[in-house]
Amino acid sequence: MNLKMEKALAFGEKNYNYYSAFLRNKYNGQKVYKVIVDAGFTCPNRDGSKGYGGCAYCNTDSFTPVSRNLDTFREQISYSMERAEKTYGAEKFIVYFQPNTNTYAPVEELKFLYDEALKINLEKIVGLSVGTRPDCIDEEKIALLESYKEQGLEVDLEMGMESIYDETLVEINRGCSHQEFVDAMNLLENSTLDVCIHTILGFPNETKEMMLKYVNELNRFSKINFVKFHHLHIVEGSIFGVKYKRNPFKLFSIEEYTDLLCEILPKLRPDIVIQRLFGLSDLDMLIAPNWNLKKSQIQNFIDAEIEKRGVIQGCEFR
């Protein structure tokens, strides 16, 4: 790795910028942990505004923690913080509004919920992470989130790009076009917010060549600070779950998925911090692909291959 790349990959010892090292660097070595909260939102493709049933791959029960079953979202946050302190030695926290679309409400309601979350522990909560869709943000909601940034908090807006192909977005019942993603990114161009983009690799009918073009779209928006890569997995209770049981379709093996990541990373802008390289559903809800590995084992497998092959994030970026 040359000196230029070493300076670009500032966060940690891996051959790519990864999120935990970014947080350690930002918070002077303290352990910062995201706590997930379900604030009771829905989505426009669930409530009939744009459709019903949600995205074809999605069942929010497959990735939300046990704290979701507590009576109030304040209890969810307090429980998760206490558990993270005991289990992981967490010292500071980012409240992560994850399930469904967490800007899908009037600004006054959003402000109340975000304020309530932050009040739970003003000393230990250092930021907000808000998951949403490109068609559910506007200037007023961006300004609200920016107001927390002005208070010195870490604030990132996480949006699902998922695919860059409209035919795929229709197939997965996304209820949102790629142009709406582009419009949202243009709206955020001069924002002070950090932007995290979520994308899914392995949709039916998308070839490797098609998926590699996702990188061009991530690279072209300078406002993208973070990215989450997920492989498509099929879960119980989703539209794809029903379709897959009737007529199974091709999904990645861990070797195939790692091969794709090893082609994507060299092309990815080196300053983008990677929050995730893969997704993992609760195993009791996972239909396929089951790689029969724990989360840490998957991470170690991918990291080992990246290292062995000499893959360096951004080394082919132009």
Query: What tens digit of pLDDT does each residue of 291-309 get?
Result: 999 999 999 999 999 999 9
What pLDDT does 66 receive?
Answer: 60
| Percent of the residues in the chain that have a pLDDT greater than 70, as a whole number | 94
User: Is residue 76 pLDDT above 50, yes or no?
Assistant: yes
- The model's pTM is 0.92
Are 220 and 226 within 8 A, CB to CB? no
Determine the pLDDT at residue 13.
Answer: 78
Give me the percent of the chain exceeding a pLDDT of 90.
Answer: 85
CA dihedral defined by 168, 55, 128, 151, rounded to 10 degrees? Answer: 70
Mean pLDDT score of the chain: 92
CA dihedral (76, 78, 79, 82) in degrees, to 10, reads: 150
What pLDDT does 63 receive?
A: 60
Instruction: Give mean pLDDT, residues 37-47.
Output: 91
**Spatial distance between the Cα atoms of 264 and 105, rounded to a whole number of angstroms:** 36
The tokens for 212 are: 């590699």
pLDDT for 10 beyond 70: no
Per-residue confidence (pLDDT) for residue 7, from 0 to 100: 47
For 311, list phi and psi in degrees, rounded to 5: -75, 130
Question: How confident is the model at residue 281, as a pLDDT?
Answer: 86
- Please report how many Cα atoms fall inside a 13 Å half-sphere around the Cα of residue 42, on the Cβ side: 11
Integer angstrom CA distances of residue 223 from 162, 170, 265, 272: 17, 26, 18, 10
- Kindly tell me if the per-residue pLDDT of 3 is higher than 50: no
With beta carbons less than 8 A apart as the criterion, state whether 107 and 48 touch: no
pLDDT at 177 over 90: yes
CB 238 within 8 A of CB 206: no
Looking at the predicted structure, is the pLDDT value of residue 5 above 60? Answer: no
The pair of three-digit structure tokens given for residue 232, joined into one six-digit string: 């498509």
CA proximity to 34, closest of 196, 183, 190, 169: 196
